[in-house]
Amino acid sequence: MALFNHVSREANAKIVYFGPGNGGKESSVTHVYRKLSPDSRSPFKAMSLQGDRMLCFDFRPAEKGIDGYNVRFHLYTVVDEVQKLNSWKMALKGADGVLFVADSHPARQKENLDRLNELQELLAAEGSGIDQIPLVIQYNRRDIPDAVPLDEMQRRLNRFNVPGFPSVATSGDGVLPPLSCLIKMVLGRIRETLAAKAKVEAEVEAEVEAEVEVEVEAKAEAEAEVEVEVETGAMPEAAQETVTGGAEASAVIPEVDAAPSCEEPAEPLPGEEAVSAEEAATAEEAAPEEEEFRLEITGGGFLADGRLTVPVMVTAGGGCREFNLVITLAGVEPRQG
């Protein structure tokens, strides 16, 4: 599986040239290396691996990347007659594509088939399979006089119905087309992987947005409930005292208005002489005319330290005056703090 560096936006894919010894793998890899621009390829490496010889290098194609990712391909092969199967196991580990180089000589047809079966077993040990990994067959040595017919080699080897190409690796003829085909297949897998990654990220982002939206709605509903409680719930204690005090003050003034009228004669007290009706009438005529007196509450009162302060306006003799009426309420304890 391709390795992704999401910081540098680069994908690294591994392609392995597999097949019988001396069948054209080394010639094919060497020709590909020589055809690449020096700026796009790494140094060519040859290393000893448990008595076998492994060749490898990496390069970056000139084509544009995929979804903002540049792709670097790493080519590996084990050449000559492989002595130990572990060498191929190490070469195939993490492979993203395999290019099987078959020998067209009649005497090597059984070895072609044995190596192909061996490839299937090695991939199965890695948890993969020939039907699960991009595979291309390169029918090499098509220049020898007694080369097996191409359709016969296809029938014997290509039971997986994968792309196949004839080649002559020693001259480089037909070497690049099978590699180009395999690269396109691997790029298709990388594109699928990135698309799946983008889909997962989009789903996660949508879930996060949905959760945030739910939290915002819940917060808005909670704030709305608080506002309703303030509007319809119990009034604060200070407000209750203010309203209650105002009601008591309003009740005091009507009592003054409802007091007994002085115009009605009262019973004479002991020791006082009764006044005749004529004397009373004469006195009433002689008495100056009473001025109109009116007391009005002009605003809401407030309670502090056991005293209720109410703004009032007094009207008398055609004039008026505003002042605060302070009423001391018995039994009301001053508020602390």
Q: Write the pLDDT tens digit of every residue in 101-121.
A: 999 999 999 999 999 999 999
Helices (H), 44-175: 85-92, 109-125, 150-157
> 3-class SS at 309?
strand
CB count in 10 Å sphere of residue 268: 10
Q: Which one, of 151, 184, 141, lies nearest residue 25 by Cα?
A: 141
pLDDT for position 51: 84
- The token pair that represents 79 in the structure block: 């050449």
Residue 325: beta bridge partners?
Answer: 310
Residue 267 in this model has a pLDDT that exceeds 60: no
Supply the pTM of this predicted model.
Answer: 0.61
**pLDDT tier at 242 (50, 70, 90 boundaries)?**
very low
pLDDT for position 84: 78
The rounded distance, in Å, linking the Cα atoms of 162 and 301 is: 96
The rounded distance, in Å, linking the Cα atoms of 59 and 88 is: 22
pLDDT for position 81: 78
Amino acid symbol at 79: V
Domains in the chain, ordered, with CATH? 3-198 (3.40.50.300), 238-248+291-337 (no CATH)
pLDDT for position 39: 93
pLDDT in tens, 15-52: 999 999 999 999 999 999 999 999 999 999 999 888 88
Strands 10-18 and 45-49: unpaired
Amino acid symbol at 47: M
